[in-house]
Amino acid sequence: MTVSFAPSERSTVGIEWELMLADRQTGDLAPRAPEVIEALEEHTRLERFTVTQELLTNTIELTSGIGGTVAAAVDDIADAIATVRAETEPREIEMLCAGSHPFAQWYDQQVTDKTRYHKLVERTQWWGRNMMIWGIHVHVGVDDVNKVFPLIDALSVYLPHLQALSASSPYWAGERTGYASNRALVFQQLPTAGLPWQLENWSQFEKYLDDMVRTGVMADASEVRWDIRPAPRWGTIEVRACDGMSTLPELAAVAALVQTLVEKFSRDLDEGRPIPRIPPWFIRENKWRAARYGLGARIIVDADGRQAPVVDHLRETMSEIVDIAAELHCAAEFAGLETILATGGSSARQVALAEAADGDLREVVQHLIREFRSGPTLREHLAALRS
């Protein structure tokens, strides 16, 4: 199978953000995405952003246009939020985001009425019906198809860092799971989801797709659901490993890290310098550790098996690439990573809130709603950093 990798401007950025819709009073998930999106159709036809449906009717996905900078992509997302809120506000619907809803049950949710979703649930059964998960996807443009799989290999070393920074699903169906990111382990139950295969080049990817299509596993490349995957249609690498971020500044910080890492490794390839690669068994172990412990994880950081706290290795990496972030005009967003490290991220905030509320998970949902609604916009956040 021949699959073309579209031309793409190097290190451009696109962002997708999956959001829950919830009843303002109860915090229960609200299956009202179809009516909200229908009401928005005329208003968004000519916008840079899109607002679309997802697997469940309680979810909308906001997608930016192609951004030359992280700020440009995040501005699109902010505009989308404002546009959606004009429709959700009179309906008493709130938006919020985390990797999972703290107390929702799968059997109360409705699947969006599209053939592809019905086929997915029919095939995957209980696991498919349990996909009450929300995430972010960060696309970064790649200027040469021959770089795609070396870049994916290098980024795989940093999957635990991204997963730990974004971890926001410590509760599942009303229970404390003991995992910072339960979403990471739920999502990989779908066929073709999970860690990427360590492929050497694009022709091996085409052979993989040919095998999967020929045996009926998938229809096309869009059904590759890896934690990091090529997006041939857009000419990007798409990082999909992250839980849903709870605030816009946190979303921007993680997007800045992804963009900067891709540019760093792309430069290394251009100059013939080695880029990181570790065995797949270390990558798999790191994914589990980050899901279990979040920012408290101790991970394997090189092929020799050296281990370090993920926070320490992330700070070490940040110091090495901060100048590249500045060149990409995302230094301020990149600096937001330190705020996440200092506060422990959404998972830690949710657990602390639940403990303070004697285990009342409805209070955790209201906390997430307040964070999304009242937390600083990116512009306000950056202004505070400068003051």
289: left (phi over 0), alpha (psi -120 to 50) or beta: alpha
pLDDT value at position 375?
Answer: 62
Where along the chain do its domains lie? 13-386
pLDDT at 263: 98
Query: How far is the C-alpha of 30 from the C-alpha of 25, rounded, in Å?
Result: 11
What's the pLDDT at 140?
Answer: 98
pLDDT of residue 96: 98
d(CA 179, CA 372): 22
For the residues of 15-58, what is the DSSP string, one character each? EEEEEEEEETTT--B---HHHHHHHHHHHHTTSSSEEEE-SBTT
Per-residue confidence in pLDDT tens, the chain, 387 aa: 899 999 999 999 999 999 999 999 999 999 999 999 999 998 888 899 999 999 999 999 999 999 999 999 999 999 999 999 999 999 999 999 999 999 999 999 999 999 999 999 999 999 999 999 999 999 999 999 999 999 999 999 999 999 999 999 999 999 999 999 999 999 999 999 999 999 999 999 999 999 999 999 999 999 999 999 999 999 999 999 999 999 999 999 999 999 999 999 999 999 999 999 999 999 999 999 999 999 999 999 999 999 999 999 999 999 999 999 999 999 999 999 999 999 899 999 999 999 999 999 999 999 999 999 886 454 554 555 455
CATH class of the structural domain 13-386 = alpha beta
115 CB contacts (<8 Å, ≥6 apart)?
none
140's CB contacts (< 8 A; 6+ apart) are 11, 12, 13, 236, 237, 239, 258, 259, 262, 263
The pTM of the full predicted model, rounded to 2 decimals, is: 0.96
